[in-house]
Amino acid sequence: MQLRTLPVVRRDTTTVQVGTDPRWAVALADLSPPAARALAALPAGATDRAVLAALRDERVAGDEARAVLDHLAAAHLLVPPPQPAPEQPDARAWSLLDAGGDGTSVLAARSGARVRVSGLDRVGAVVAHTLAMAGVGTLELDDAAPVGPQDVGFGGVSERDLGEHREVAVARAARADRPHLRTLAPVGRPPDVVVLVDRGVADPVRHTPLRDAGATHLSVVVREASVLVGPLVVPGSTSCLTCVELHRADADPAWPMVAAQLVADRTVAGLVAETTLATIAGALTAAQVLAHLDGRPCLARDAALEVALPLGVPRRQQWLPHPACGCGSHVTVDQGSARACVGAGAAPDGVRVRQR
């Protein structure tokens, strides 16, 4: 067993805090001063044997040393060493969120996933590159439009890519940073998730066939000064994009006419997301995809996350299944879909204090 890779700091002469994130940080109180000194001096990832050795070096009594180890184990701060050790930053982070302390299993599962990103503008390029760096094994990239000056700097696209097909440029950039990534043109069978990047409004010509085929898909809509991320549609289990359009038509009878014009309007089709919006929305989109792949709660189920200027802080808009839609969704939104995408071990804010 070994300590999680967390900072160990002194709170006073008899209290040591392990970790800083309130979800898992623990303060060990009522220690003897030698025991506090020994724990504060431990290197990150020290084994339980190293902890005992450090306590002995400070001449801490055996019963106190055993009690310290018991408290560390009870706080889930002693975990089996991962095989192999998580050298990648993502693996280290997920090891903290995994109850067993093994973040490598999360990345191993992602390596077998296949995601299609259809639409590789600024937002789509950030989505694809982030998914690649987060460990997704195969990306299907779909956008034959030429790279323009507005695309440079997003998702690894550079000036040398000007005029190249976006799907080629984004694939090259992603593989340069992650050589083992597999990049494909769209293939027959549906991937695990399809990300659809549209402008103005979600295009039914693109999303309806996916729903009818039972393919999980996530809508991303770029607007004048905002981006909508979601909903994530799991056909038969969540609301679909037609549900969203029906709800909008209920609130605004003119919406179907407006939406049809937005789909056809070339001015709208040329919308480009502002720099911070593209970066935030792209990362947020990738986070929703990864939450679904990892089997974690996801904010974009039955909802959209709106990122708008000037603040750029996501705001959740809930979209329940519409009774007039024939998508077959009979799900009701539970508390799980209204929670943020967090891993195991979440706890209320505040450092827990364990008395020795």
Q: Which two tokens stand for residue 356?
A: 């020795």
Given a contact cutoff of 8 angstroms between Cβ atoms, the answer to whether 47 and 4 are in contact is no
Give residue-wise pLDDT tens across range 329-356.
654 434 333 333 323 333 334 555 555 5
Helix, strand or coil for residue 157? coil
**CA of 262: how far to CAs of 149, 209, 271, 308, in Å?**
24, 20, 11, 19
Look at residues 231, 249, 250, 251 and name the one whose alpha carbon lies nearest to residue 241: 231
**Could you report the per-residue pLDDT of 275-316, keeping only the tens digit for each?**
999 999 999 999 999 999 999 999 999 999 999 999 999 999
Give the residues across from 9 on adjacent strands. 17
Given a cut of 50, whether residue 325 has pLDDT beyond it is yes
Q: For 45-94, write each residue's pLDDT tens digit.
A: 788 889 889 888 889 888 898 898 888 888 888 877 755 444 577 877 87
Which of these ranges, 48-57, 118-127, 177-186, has the smallest mean pLDDT? 48-57
220 with 226: CB under 8 angstroms? no
Count how many Cα atoms sit within 13 Å of the Cα of residue 326 in the half-sphere of its side chain: 2
Average pLDDT, the chain: 87
- What is residue 298's predicted lDDT score, i.e. its pLDDT? 94
Alpha-carbon 169 to chain mean position: 24
Please state, as a whole number, how many other Cβ atoms lie within 10 Å of the Cβ of residue 190: 17
DSSP classification of residue 16: E
Tell me the pairing of strands 26-29 and 352-355.
parallel
Q: Are 151 and 125 in contact (CB under 8 A)?
A: yes
Q: List the domains of the chain with CATH numbers.
A: 2-81 (3.90.930), 112-338 (3.40.50.720)
For residue 211, give the nearest of 228, 227, 232, 229 by alpha carbon: 232
Residue 39: strand pairing partners: none
Tens of pLDDT, residues 243-283:
999 999 999 999 999 999 999 887 787 899 999 999 999 99
DSSP state letters, 91-151: HHHHHHHSTTS-THHHHHHHHT-EEEEE--SHHHHHHHHHHHHTT-SEEEEE--SBP-GGG
Using a 10 angstrom Cβ sphere, with 0-12 exposed, 13-18 middle and 19 or more buried, the burial of residue 301 is: buried
The 10s digit of each residue's pLDDT in 10-30 is 999 999 998 888 887 889 898
Q: What's the CA gap between 190 and 281, in Å, rounded?
A: 24
For the segment 232-237, the average pLDDT, to the nearest whole number, is 95
